[in-house]
């Protein structure tokens, strides 16, 4: 096999190169000295590592020309069987592509931050100058609400906020100070008298004309300026209006503005907005301990501290010895930057790919200048990072560092407890495993309400934690309502039927078909002898190992801690003990399966009951009658809560049709 040309190479290096496929070494030798991104794959096609380089040839060749010994780099390099590269125009493009691929491919030797759900925003609806007939008065009065999802140009969005709680706090603030409406348009358009929010001074009741459109628009404008950080200007404007009303002897209007000024002043005092020059800032603090890391992100928007959110990356230990800062090849931990800096740069590069980046980042570790240039190029505004802040920024950073330490300590404590529970269960059931980290448990539960909307859940426990992304729900059909045994049979057949066929095929051919999953090490079913017997029948039919099945049987009086384990292979029942760590893990997984099943069942039941499918599916209900019903009662749920007499009062709805609507929705 050819060896990469290297005048300084020694025999150990040649031996290293000779252990790789000829095609791989040929590809490396033919690389161009241009900027780009490279991906390493193992023999099974799994992605090992994604990196970027200003000079692809120099960077990639360094992995194969040096003898890395038994280090983690050497371990990774020994697995490389194939390589892919992409040439780009600049280092900034390479950095962005690298982190897009890291998030997409999930390589084992890169620090990876999981995609979180989108950030929530505070939304203010736009005001229509030509409202449609169905919109009535709601189109003239902007509504403030919680929002998550894609944006529309006709509305205004403020944020993002670190949590739903932070958005709801901001909405409450808008109600207290500016008394903006939060009700849905159908409710607004059908009000005949003020609601409770008006009585407790949280809304100015535009729905019944207690405030003009112009005055309400002024409050909306002030609220927007406040959210953008112009709090003191808003305060001055309110005080000027208050004095003007007082001079004209309009004392009621002046008193209203006085109350608004007092509420706003109280809010500013609580928020302690000392540095109004910092309108939009993200504060990033990182803590690394025990092979795990936490990045705590705190957000300041409009000069107000909105709260924070912790992030926990994976592959920290595996990736700690790699970094793509120099072109001299992979570094050792002593020569490279601090792990904290690597984690923080990985977070910044991956997090801000899909999230707007503020102009200022306050960080606990220095950020690479090239990364900041790439972010600036992507955002269209200059992004700067402050590593040693002063005054207010220093207080923010210290608070973020404290939260990062607390969150990481909590995670390590929980993981230590989970590992102890896993070990206890493996020992209690005498499971034969190569590694306890790979223990995979799947748990099934059935949920319904008197046979209605039957749902089955399957939750997964692996790597000492629940794997939410692998959860599955099964809608159960074609059985006698309330027959839990038939439901369990159906869900197990659907979950393991195809898998059993693939395993049989693999035994015949000696090759495992692509995409074939693995059987769990334990299958938990929430139930006693009956459910276990049904599971045993399914596994016998599919020729699967009966020793995998374990039932969780309620104890005397159905008391927590008295559960017993029932086995499908004929073993005697096992009582682990009330304080057993193994039983705690079993109960945790069982309870999660129950929670997941019951939430799915309730959602399905609500759809059946409230939508009835949908109103337009009811015979005699077309688009016009449906619109009238929704306008009158403020939505489908309002129609469902109405009585026959109320439904019959809607124009175009006869008594007979009202009875039919009521019957179907109930």
In this predicted structure, the answer to whether residue 237 has a pLDDT above a threshold of 80 is: no
Orientation of helix 391-429 relative to helix 581-606, angle to 10° = 110
For residues 68 and 65, give the distance between their C-alpha atoms in angstroms, rounded to a whole number.
9
To which H or E segment does residue 343 belong? helix 339-351
Domain 280-409 fold is Nucleotidyltransferase; domain 5 (3.30.420)
In this predicted structure, the answer to whether residue 272 has a pLDDT above a threshold of 60 is: no
Percent of the chain residues topping a pLDDT of 70:
84
Give the strand order in the sheet containing 360-363: 304-311, 292-301, 280-289, 360-363, 384-386
Percent of the chain residues topping a pLDDT of 90:
18
Give the strand order in the sheet containing 82-87: 47-53, 36-41, 82-87
- Which tens digits make up the pLDDT trace of 624-664? 787 788 777 766 777 877 888 888 888 888 888 888 888 87
Q: Which of 222-226, 272-276, 444-448, 513-517 ranks highest by mean pLDDT?
A: 444-448
Cβ pair 270, 361 in contact under 8 A: no
Q: Tell me the pLDDT band of 1, cut-offs 50, 70 and 90.
A: very low
Q: Which among 26, 10, 12, 147 is positioned nearest to 82, based on CA atoms?
A: 26
Confidence (pLDDT) at 229: 73
To which H or E segment does residue 397 belong? helix 391-429
What's the whole-number mean pLDDT along residues 291-298? 90
CATH superfamily membership of 11-105: GIY-YIG endonuclease (3.40.1440.10)
Confidence (pLDDT) at 10: 39
| SS3 call for 173 | helix
Compute how many other C-beta atoms are within 10 angstroms of the C-beta atom of residue 246.
15
> Among 182-196, 451-465, 633-647, where is mean pLDDT lowest?
633-647
For domain 612-665, the question of CATH label 1.10.150.20 is answered with yes
How much helix, strand and coil, in percent to the nearest 5, is found in the chain?
Answer: 50, 15, 35
Handedness of CA 58, 60, 64, 67 (dihedral sign): positive
Query: In terms of pLDDT, which residue wins out, 230 or 356?
Result: 356
Confidence (pLDDT) at 494: 92
Confidence (pLDDT) at 514: 59
Query: In terms of pLDDT, which residue wins out, 269 or 93?
Result: 93
Handedness of CA 136, 139, 143, 147 (dihedral sign): positive
Confidence (pLDDT) at 336: 52
Q: Tell me the pLDDT band of 431, cut-offs 50, 70 and 90.
A: confident
From residue 96, give the alpha-carbon distance in Å to each of 62, 349, 358, 378, 590. Answer: 23, 7, 17, 9, 42
Cβ pair 349, 371 in contact under 8 A: yes
Q: Tell me the pLDDT band of 119, cut-offs 50, 70 and 90.
A: confident
Confidence (pLDDT) at 537: 93
For residues 317 and 250, give the distance between their C-alpha atoms in angstroms, rounded to a whole number.
69
Cis amide leading into 160 (omega within 30): yes
H-only helix segments in 510-575: 529-541
What's the whole-number mean pLDDT along residues 156-185? 85
In this predicted structure, the answer to whether residue 558 has a pLDDT above a threshold of 70 is: no
What's the whole-number mean pLDDT along residues 210-237? 82
Residue 276 burial (10 A CB sphere; 0-12, 13-18, 19+): middle
In this predicted structure, the answer to whether residue 524 has a pLDDT above a threshold of 90 is: yes
* Domain boundaries of the chain, sorted by first residue: 11-105, 280-409, 436-608, 612-665
Cβ pair 539, 500 in contact under 8 A: no
**452-462 and 465-466 as β-strands: parallel, antiparallel, unpaired?**
antiparallel
What's the whole-number mean pLDDT along residues 533-557? 88
What's the whole-number mean pLDDT along residues 589-605? 83
What's the whole-number mean pLDDT along residues 589-606? 82
For residues 598 and 590, give the distance between their C-alpha atoms in angstroms, rounded to a whole number.
12
CATH number, domain 436-608, options 1.10.10.60, 3.40.50.970, 3.30.420.340, 3.40.50.300: 3.30.420.340
For residues 234 and 264, give the distance between their C-alpha atoms in angstroms, rounded to a whole number.
9
What's the whole-number mean pLDDT along residues 125-138? 62
In this predicted structure, the answer to whether residue 432 has a pLDDT above a threshold of 70 is: yes
Q: Tell me the pLDDT band of 402, cut-offs 50, 70 and 90.
A: very high
- Which tens digits make up the pLDDT trace of 475-504? 888 888 888 899 999 999 999 998 888 888
In this predicted structure, the answer to whether residue 340 has a pLDDT above a threshold of 70 is: yes
Q: Where are the beta strands (DSSP E) in 512-562?
A: 522-526, 549-553
What's the whole-number mean pLDDT along residues 313-323? 71
Confidence (pLDDT) at 327: 42
- Which tens digits make up the pLDDT trace of 80-99? 888 999 998 888 888 888 88
Confidence (pLDDT) at 512: 62
To which H or E segment does residue 311 belong? strand 304-311
Confidence (pLDDT) at 185: 84
Query: What's the chain's average pLDDT?
Result: 81
Name the one residue in this structure whose structure tokens are 């904290």: 340
Confidence (pLDDT) at 511: 67
What's the whole-number mean pLDDT along residues 358-371? 91
- Which tens digits make up the pLDDT trace of 138-170? 778 999 998 887 777 788 888 788 888 888 888
**549-553 and 522-526 as β-strands: parallel, antiparallel, unpaired?**
parallel
**113 in the Ramachandran plot: left (φ > 0), alpha (ψ -120 to 50) or beta?**
beta
For residues 6 and 194, give the distance between their C-alpha atoms in angstroms, rounded to a whole number.
83
Confidence (pLDDT) at 316: 82
Do 436-608 and 280-409 have the same topology in CATH? yes
Cβ pair 525, 488 in contact under 8 A: yes
In this predicted structure, the answer to whether residue 545 has a pLDDT above a threshold of 80 is: yes
- Residue 597 CB-half CA count within 13 A: 27
Give me the numbers of helices (H) and strands (E) for the chain, helices first please: 22, 18
């Amino acid at each position: 096999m050819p060896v990469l040309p290297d005048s300084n190479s020694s025999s150990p290096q040649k031996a290293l190169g000779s252990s790789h496929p000829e095609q791989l070494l040929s590809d490396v030798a033919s690389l161009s000295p241009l900027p780009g991104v490279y991906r390493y794959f193992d023999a099974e096609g799994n992605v090992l590592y994604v990196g970027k380089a200003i000079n692809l040839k120099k960077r990639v060749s360094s992995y194969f020309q040096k003898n890395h010994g038994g280090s983690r780099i050497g371990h990774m390099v020994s697995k490389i069987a194939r390589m892919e590269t992409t040439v780009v125009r600049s280092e900034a493009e390479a950095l962005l592509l690298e982190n897009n691929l890291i998030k997409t491919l999930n390589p084992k030797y890169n620090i990876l931050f999981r995609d979180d759900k989108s950030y929530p925003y505070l939304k203010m609806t736009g005001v229509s100058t030509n409202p449609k007939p169905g919109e009535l008065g709601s189109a003239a009065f902007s509504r403030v609400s919680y929002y998550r999802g894609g944006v529309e140009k006709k509305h205004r969005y403020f944020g993002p906020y670190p949590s739903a709680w932070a958005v709801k706090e901001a909405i409450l603030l808008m109600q207290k100070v500016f008394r903006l409406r939060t009700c849905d348009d159908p409710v607004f358009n059908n009000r005949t008298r003020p609601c409770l929010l008006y009585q407790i001074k949280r809304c100015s009741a535009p729905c019944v004309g207690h405030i003009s459109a112009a005055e309400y628009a002024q409050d909306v404008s002030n609220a927007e300026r406040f959210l953008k950080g112009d709090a003191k200007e808003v305060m001055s404007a309110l005080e000027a209006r208050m004095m003007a009303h007082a001079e004209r002897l309009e004392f009621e209007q002046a008193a209203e503005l006085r109350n608004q000024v007092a509420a706003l002043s109280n809010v500013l005092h609580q928020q302690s907005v000392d540095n109004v020059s910092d309108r939009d800032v993200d504060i990033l603090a990182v803590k690394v301990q025990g092979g795990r890391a936490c990045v705590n992100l705190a957000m300041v928007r409009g000069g107000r501290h909105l709260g924070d959110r912790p992030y926990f990356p994976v592959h920290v230990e595996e990736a700690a010895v790699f970094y793509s800062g120099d072109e001299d090849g992979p570094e050792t931990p002593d020569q490279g930057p601090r792990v904290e800096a690597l984690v923080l740069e990985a977070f910044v590069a991956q997090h801000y790919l899909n999230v707007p980046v503020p102009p200022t980042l306050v960080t606990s570790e220095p950020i690479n200048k090239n990364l900041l240039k790439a972010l600036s190029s992507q955002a269209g505004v200059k992004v700067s990072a402050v590593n040693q802040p002063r005054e207010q920024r220093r207080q923010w950073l210290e608070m973020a560092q404290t939260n990062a330490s607390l969150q990481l300590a909590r995670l390590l404590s929980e993981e230590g407890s989970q590992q102890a529970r896993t070990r206890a269960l493996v020992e209690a059931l005498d499971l034969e495993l190569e590694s306890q980290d790979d223990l995979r448990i799947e748990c099934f539960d059935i949920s319904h309400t008197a046979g209605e909307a039957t749902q089955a859940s399957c939750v997964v426990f692996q790597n000492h934690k629940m794997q939410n992304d692998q959860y599955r729900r099964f809608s159960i059909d074609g059985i006698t309502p309330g027959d839990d045994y038939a439901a369990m049979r159906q869900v197990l057949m659907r979950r393991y039927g195809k898998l059993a066929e693939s395993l049989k095929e693999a035994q015949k051919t000696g090759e495992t078909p692509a995409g074939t999953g693995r059987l769990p090490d334990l299958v938990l079913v929430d139930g006693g002898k009956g459910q276990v017997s049904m599971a045993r029948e399914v596994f016998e039919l599919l020729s699967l190992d009966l020793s995998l099945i374990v039932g969780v049987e309620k104890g005397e009086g159905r008391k927590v801690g008295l559960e017993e384990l029932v086995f499908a292979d004929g073993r005697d029942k096992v009582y682990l003990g009330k304080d057993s760590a193994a039983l705690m893990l079993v109960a945790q997984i069982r309870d999660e399966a129950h929670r997941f099943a019951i939430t799915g069942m309730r959602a399905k039941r609500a759809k059946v009951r409230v939508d009835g499918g949908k109103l337009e599916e009811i015979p005699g209900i077309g688009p016009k009658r449906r619109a009238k019903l929704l306008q009158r009662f403020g939505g489908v749920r309002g129609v469902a809560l109405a009585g026959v007499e109320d439904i019959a009062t809607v124009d175009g709805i006869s008594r007979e049709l009202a009875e039919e609507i009521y019957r179907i929705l109930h």
